[in-house]
Amino acid sequence: MTEQIRDAVEQYVKLVGAGPTEAIVELYASDATVEDPVGTPVRHGHAAIREFYDVIGALDRDTELQADSVRVAGNEVAFQFTIVTRVAGQRFTLSPIDVMEFDDAGKITRMRAYWSQEDMATKAE
């Protein structure tokens, strides 16, 4: 299961950086939850998760996984990655720490992202 989870994390980060929303949603179990960032309302199920990822879908973005940050324990994983988005001449950089739980089929059942506005760096391009 460890390798399956590591592969899912790599796929997730790649898709968040350039993939279509539907491919991201397919990584999740149908009854999964997303809390991003932690402390905001929890999104339940594919429709709500799709709506969440649609927000970044139209943005110029890329991601990079901090490979040495991936920690798998049982059916859970914690990892850090960097996402860079570009909007209206501004570059936004964020490196959240995500914690995910997986079911036996390798689908994400719960995702929680740890970050706050203070963690986002903004720079004019």
Domain ranges in the chain are 2-101
Architecture of domain 2-101: Roll (3.10)
Reply yes or no: is the peptide bond before residue 37 cis, omega within 30 of 0. yes
Annotation marks residue 28 as catalytic = no
How confident is the model over 15-45, as pLDDT tens digits?
999 999 999 999 999 999 999 999 999 999 9
How far is residue 92 from each of residues 2, 22, 43, 96, 119, measured CA to CA in Å?
32, 24, 24, 13, 10
Find the catalytic residue in 12, 28, 53, 98. Answer: 12
Annotation marks residue 53 as catalytic = no
Indicate whether 51 pLDDT > 90: yes
pTM: 0.94
pLDDT at residue 7, rounded to an integer? 96
- In terms of C-beta density within 10 A (0-12 exposed, 13-18 middle, 19 or more buried), how is residue 83 classed? buried
Average pLDDT over the chain, rounded to an integer: 95
Find the catalytic residue in 28, 36, 53, 98. Answer: 36
Contact 13, 77 (CB under 8 A): no
